[in-house]
Chain A
Amino acid sequence: MANVNLKQVVKSFGETKVIHGIDLDIKSGEFVVFVGPSGCGKSTLLRMIAGLETTTSGDIMIGTDRVNELPPRSRDIAMVFQDYALYPHKSVFENMAFGLRLRKTPDAEIKKRVGDAAAILQIEHLLERKPRQLSGGQRQRVAMGRAIVRDPKAFLFDEPLSNLDAQLRNEMRTEIKKLHARLGKTIIYVTHDQVEAMTLADRIAVLSAGHVMQYASPDEIYNRPAAKFVAGFTGSPSMNFAAATVSADGASVVVAGATVALGYARKSAAGREVTFGVRPEDIDVGGDIPARVVVIEPLGAETLVTLAIGSQNPVEMITRVDADTKLASGDQIKVSINSAKTHLFDLKTELAVTQ
């Protein structure tokens, strides 16, 4: 078990810089998720930690050692790949035993460790099979088994669930969380699925174009996003944005002609144009802001309602309401916005305005 530290890590492929000086400290035993849109550099960063990509500059520390120059085999990490990367010509047992055999572990010890891992993952009955005789979910378990038998300092996961169907994905997500609780090992997990990130992580690093936009707990990321990008990336449906003007005292904004109070005053933005943000669940039916119902999308437990909010140039925003709220498209209603849960973002930098 070990902490992982990245200091000013940079990666360039030829002329193209894809990782722009990332600093991250990952505590021993922590579950950290790298999340971000496709192509933002999550896999590259993970593979640099694994030693599968060279590091152009900066330091990668595992435990107290700087590992930049070490090959993957000497870093004592295990990795689970998106397409599982099970050795097709080896049985499940041999897939899991491979790393131990390379380390000249005695046979009895190998048997015991593979057996234990198989028991944890409930794949004992599959040990004699070849990978091609397994279902996707079973392959996933074997790939995790291969990682845990080695008892490494840290686990790296690269989108391990993206090839599974929705139900299996939820199942395996729970499984991974249980595994982390049980083993207490450092895990670095890459995904582009914000739900996976929110449910699994102790801390989330939101990446965009090779930069860390925010590195914080899921709660912090969701409730206090540091940038418009982070706010837009989390939650489903994601945060509503609208152009707004901050009042002279910084305590409220005007959005499409309607005045919305802020949770606390933003003196630094007083009188300026900003981007206003509010999550769907923080818009409630009933209040004093005029709105027209545009689209209604029932989801069963709740209903998504697209509203045109405001009196002049109304802006479209999505809200969630109870399934039994009676609304029809075209209805003119009044809504309120939870001031404590309002967000402002600078127009130019797109960073959160917090003062």
Chain B
Amino acid sequence: MNLAEMKTKSMVMLAGLIVVVNGFFPAVWIFFTSLKTESELLQFPITYIPRDPTLVNYYQAFTEKPLHLFILNSVIVAGASTIITVFVAALAAYALTRLKMPKRNLLMSLLLAVSMFPLISLIVPLFQVMREIGLLNNYLSLILPYTVLSLPVCTLVMASFFQDISPDLEAAAMVDGCTRVQALFKIVMPLAAPGVFTAAILAFVNAWDEFLLALTFLSRESMRTLSVGITLYQGEFAFPWPLISAALIVAIVPVCILIAIFQERVVGGLTAGGVKG
């Protein structure tokens, strides 16, 4: 390795390190905070690693507010909208990549344009609609908009993966006895697994993180999702850092686990490769 190569390599490593530290530092900091007592937190000089780690904040997080309900609500809303999104986006992406369609490129760009709509512009009309059809404080009031909001991006992601799969594979499947839809689900989707999982993660995280709609449409406390529920811990005058940190960690962990599992499939799917028969 010569000097120039070493230089490039160390630059790349440095950039990578910055990204990792930047991404992980807040999470790690929150984790440490969640293990501290309120008094340790206020101590000076500050401690980085908790001196006397405790789980009491986690206990309080669950007892002070119905955190388990928040989790359940989030799982239901994010899970349902992810499943619907992936299913509909798969069909749409298939249509866009495989069927003869006039103005396909225009449609694709429209999708992209729609996905850039600012949420805030939708919230008032959506609220009206939800109230009119009586969906306020109903999971559907979030599942439906989340699905619609994630659809464009998920469709585009899957379309780009479908594009790389030889149409002859579907032709073979259809000659073998599949309907077009069966060919999509039995052959194309498994081969596009990395794309499907990428889309699923996008949809899930979008729904899991969303705050504005969740705050507006599910106002009953037992219907709160995690992103909104966590804000309920702060009192009028107090801001219980360790408690909120514990709740945050509880909110982050399921997503991390989910991504870790999917990551395996995504990487596995990629290395399975050899799509070209």
Chain A residues with CB under 8 Å of chain B are 47, 50-52, 71-73, 77-79, 81-89, 98-99, 102-103, 130-132, 139, 146, 150
Contacts and interface: CB of A to CB of B under 8 A. Distances in A.
A112 to B, nearest CB: 18
Interface of B: 166, 168-169, 171-179, 182, 187, 190-191, 272-277
B277 A131 contact: yes
Q: Which 8 A-B pairs have the closest CB atoms?
A: A132-B274, A102-B177, A99-B176, A85-B172, A85-B168, A86-B277, A72-B174, A73-B177
A238 to B, nearest CB: 31
A150 B176 contact: yes
Nearest to A13: B100
A73 B174 contact: yes
A50 B174 CA distance: 10
A89 B175 contact: no
Contacts of B178: 73, 102
A98 B176 contact: yes
A73 B277 contact: no
A146 B171 CA distance: 14
B172 A81 contact: yes
Contacts of A146: 172, 176
A71 B169 contact: no
A82 B168 CA distance: 9
A79 B277 contact: no
Contacts of A131: 274, 277
Given A83-B277, A89-B190, A73 B175 contact: yes
Given A71-B179, A132-B273, A87 B173 contact: yes
Given A52-B171, A132-B273, A132-B274, A89 B191 contact: yes
Q: For A47, A71, A72, A130, which residue has the most chain B Cβ atoms within 10 angstroms?
A: A72
A102 B172 CA distance: 13
A103 B177 contact: yes
> Which applies to chain B's interface (DSSP): helix, strand, loop or mixed?
helix
Contacts of B190: 89
A60 to B, nearest CB: 15
B77 to A, nearest CB: 32
Nearest to A77: B175
A149 to B, nearest CB: 10
A268 B137 CA distance: 92
Contacts of A86: 172, 277
Nearest to A74: B177
B162 to A, nearest CB: 15
A47 B182 CA distance: 20
A333 B238 CA distance: 113
B277 A85 contact: yes
B168 A83 contact: yes
Contacts of A89: 190-191, 272
Contacts of B273: 88, 132
B174 to A, nearest CB: 4
A73 B179 contact: yes
Nearest to B169: A85
A191 B176 CA distance: 22
Q: For B172, B175, B176, B182, which residue has the most chain A Cβ atoms within 10 angstroms?
A: B175
Contacts of A72: 171, 174-175
Given A89-B190, A131-B277, A132-B273, A79 B172 contact: yes
Given A73-B177, A73-B178, A102-B178, A88 B172 contact: no
Nearest to B274: A132
Contacts of B172: 79, 81, 85-87, 146
Contact of B176 (A83, A102, A139): A102
19 contacts: A51-B174, A73-B178, A79-B171, A79-B172, A81-B172, A82-B168, A83-B166, A83-B277, A86-B277, A87-B172, A87-B277, A88-B272, A88-B274, A88-B276, A102-B176, A131-B277, A132-B273, A132-B274, A146-B172
A130 B171 CA distance: 20
B191 A85 contact: no
A50 to B, nearest CB: 6
Contact of A71 (B166, B174, B187, B275): B174
Contacts of B174: 51-52, 71-73
B64 to A, nearest CB: 49
Contacts of A78: 175-176
B79 to A, nearest CB: 26
Given A86-B277, A89-B272, A131-B277, A81 B171 contact: yes
Nearest to A80: B172
B103 to A, nearest CB: 14
Given A89-B272, A103-B177, A131-B277, 13 more contacts: A73-B177, A81-B171, A85-B166, A85-B171, A87-B169, A87-B172, A89-B190, A98-B173, A99-B177, A102-B176, A130-B274, A132-B273, A146-B172
B166 A73 contact: no
